[in-house]
Amino acid sequence: MRFVRLAILSFIFLFLVVWALSLLIPSHITLSKAINIKAPADSITAMIKNPGNWKYWYPGMNAALPYYEKGVIKGMIVNNSDPENPVYLKLDKEEGNLITALFVGKNIKPVINTWRTIEHSSSDSLTLQWGMDFHLRWYPWEKFASLALEKTYAPKMEQGLMELRKKVQSPY
């Protein structure tokens, strides 16, 4: 009986220590990558605003299915293993030089993707900035898993930006 009580108390203490350490990890994480592109802003935003074009530059979207709202394609279904609750990326809004899309699924908090074009008056190119905002719950496993977000998503974001530049950049 003493051994069982010690095991239970040790487990509770260990869980509290891990939980307390997870509180040191922020619950809002933003990844951001940028690239300079020699192309007009409207040609870049046309590739981003049209989910049908995502297969040409967004990593992993070449095999995705279209996501429709009211008969109009609004995004792409990334994972359809649960047809009742698919995981999808859909356009949310467009405000000036900012386009927002939400990565949504049943058991995940929405990940906010933003693309911002920044024009430079003294240059013939502009900067395209891609950001991903992650809002994490208090769960320790979610907080510790967030430590790998940069390593997981940053290379894909860079690859996507390079592919987008190839598609829209004017020849030199």
Distance CA 85, CA 20 (A): 33
Reported as a single tens digit per residue, the pLDDT across 88-109 is: 899 999 998 999 999 998 777 8
pTM for the predicted model, two decimal places: 0.83
Reported as a single tens digit per residue, the pLDDT across 8-19 is: 988 898 888 888
What tokens does 169 get? 């950049």
What tokens does 29 get? 């994480």
Distance CA 160, CA 146 (A): 21
Cβ contacts of 72 within 8 Å, gap of 6 or more: none
The domains located in the chain, with CATH, are 27-168 (3.30.530.20)
Taking alpha carbons only, the member of 123, 111, 107, 91 closest to residue 157 is 111
Q: What is the pLDDT of residue 171?
A: 60
